[in-house]
Amino acid sequence: MTTINPCSAELPGTLGEAMPFLCRGAVVTLQSTLGGSVLAIAIALVVGLMASSRLRSVRGVARVYMEFFRGTSVLVQLFWLFYAMPILTGYQFDKVAAGILALGLNLGAYGSEVVRGAVQAVPPAQREAAIALNFTPYQRMRHVILPQAFVAMVPPMNNLLIELLKTTSLLSVITVADLAYQGRLLVNSGSDQLIVFALMLVIYFLFSYLITLLMRFVEGRAGRLVGRERPRRRRSAPAVEGAR
């Protein structure tokens, strides 16, 4: 049996015509998803912890950030970063960088809410037990609260990462050559629309599925960390807008 390269131009008909381009686009989509995820998760951790702070001012800063980036749509933020900001600051982002930044800032704001909610959901008694054992505030967070909160973060984070993957398609609007961009190009240059769109959707779906598999694995590991026997086998209620 020979293995078939799914990105080969040798494939019959529209497949051969489209797949090389779609594959190239898919790689860009994956790269932006990865970049955006790393940034979003980093922001979510920092801002989410700030939002759980006991200090009012720190909480306030986090709140403003979260409301601001959840209050406008990614497309507007993306346009602003790429087209409007340079006029104001004179600094022009590379388009992929602008894209990743917009993804990270926006999804990071939603992620902060996930982190804050999970930290809040750890029973206060755990914090008190840690105080009684004379942990420092940092140690309480790092060794007692966060590890327990982590488990609760994974399922909503799964949803967020899928939202992030889907949102990368907007980068095509500022001409980042991702999957959506390549697909639209193919359609505009006369390839069979139905087949090209179907292929695009399937590739996006597979990526979403990949994220879910990955996060289930993480959830399983995290669950065992806090002694939960079986992880829940369910994608919890859908994402971004649910996470308040």
Partner 1 sequence: MTTETQPGNASPAEADPQWMIRFDKVVKRFGDVTVLRELDFHVRPGERVTLIGPSGSGKTTILRLLMTLERVTSGTIEVDGQYLSHMRRGDRLVPADERHLRQVRKKVGMVFQQFNLFPNMNVLRNITEAPVRALGVPRDQAEAKARELLEMVELADKADEHPSRLSGGQQQRVAIARALAMEPEVLLLDEVTSALDPELVSGVQCLLRDIAQQGNLTLLCVTHEMRFARDISDRVLMFDQGQIVEEGDPEQIFTEPTHQRTRDFLQAVLGA
Partner 2 sequence: MIWDWDWTLQILPDLLTQGLLVTVQATLGGAVLAFVLGLFLALLRRSRRAYISRPVGAVTEFIRSTPLLVQLFVVYYVLPDFGVSMTALTTGIIGLGVHYACYTAEVYRAGIDGVPKGQWEAAVALNLPRHWIWLSVVLPQAVRRSLPALGNYLVAIFKESPQLSVITVVDVMGLARELGSERFRYLEPITIAGLFFLLIAIPASILIRRMERRLDH
Q: Are 78 and 170 in contact (CB under 8 A)?
A: yes
Residue 223 token pair: 């669950």
User: Which class for 220: exposed (0-12), middle (13-18), buried (19 or more C-beta within 10 A)?
Assistant: middle
Nearest Cα residue to 42 out of 115, 123, 97: 115
User: Of residues 58, 75, 96, 218, which one binds partner 2 by CB under 8 A?
Assistant: 75
Amino acid at 158: N
Binding mask of the shown chain, residues 136 to 155, with x at each position contacting partner 1 by CB under 8 A:
xx-x---xx--xx-------
Smallest gap, in angstroms, from Cβ of residue 142 to partner 2?
31
Record the tokens describing residue 79, joined without a space: 């346009």
* Residue 145 identity (one-letter amino acid): I
Residue 205 in contact with partner 2, rule: CB under 8 A: yes
Q: Which of 16, 225, 232, 237 binds partner 1 (CB under 8 A)?
A: 225
Residue 69 beta carbon to partner 2: minimum distance, rounded to whole angstroms: 10
C-beta separation of 18 from 189 below 8 A: no
Among 227, 230, 234, 244, binds partner 1 (CB under 8 A): 227
How many other C-beta atoms lie within 10 A of the C-beta of residue 194? 10
Instruction: Specify whether the backbone of 61 is left (phi greater than 0), alpha (psi in -120 to 50) or beta.
Output: alpha
Residue among 24, 61, 208, 223 that touches partner 2 (CB under 8 A) = 208
Which of 53, 120, 126, 208 touches partner 1 by CB under 8 A?
A: 126
Q: What is the DSSP letter of 9?
A: T
Q: Binding partner of residue 133 among partner 1, partner 2, none, CB under 5 to 8 Å per kind? A: partner 1
Q: Which stretch binds partner 2 (CB under 8 A): 14-22, 36-44, 65-73, 130-138?
A: 65-73
**Residue 172: helix, strand or coil by DSSP?**
helix
**189 contributes a contact to partner 1 by CB under 8 A:** no
Cβ neighbour number for residue 21 with a 10 Å cutoff: 21
Q: Which is nearer to partner 2, 52 or 182 (CB)?
A: 182
Contact stretch for partner 2 (CB under 8 A) within 6-14, 82-90, 97-105, 123-131: 82-90
What's the rounded Cα separation, in Å, for the pair 174 and 85? 14
How far is 111 from 66, CA to CA, in rounded Å? 9
167 binds, among partner 1, partner 2, none (CB under 5 to 8 A by kind): partner 2
To partner 1, the closest distance from the beta carbon of 203 in angstroms equals: 38
Q: Per CB under 8 A, does 131 bind partner 1?
A: yes
Q: Lay out the site mask for partner 2 across 98-127 (x = CB under 8 A, - = otherwise).
A: ------------------------------
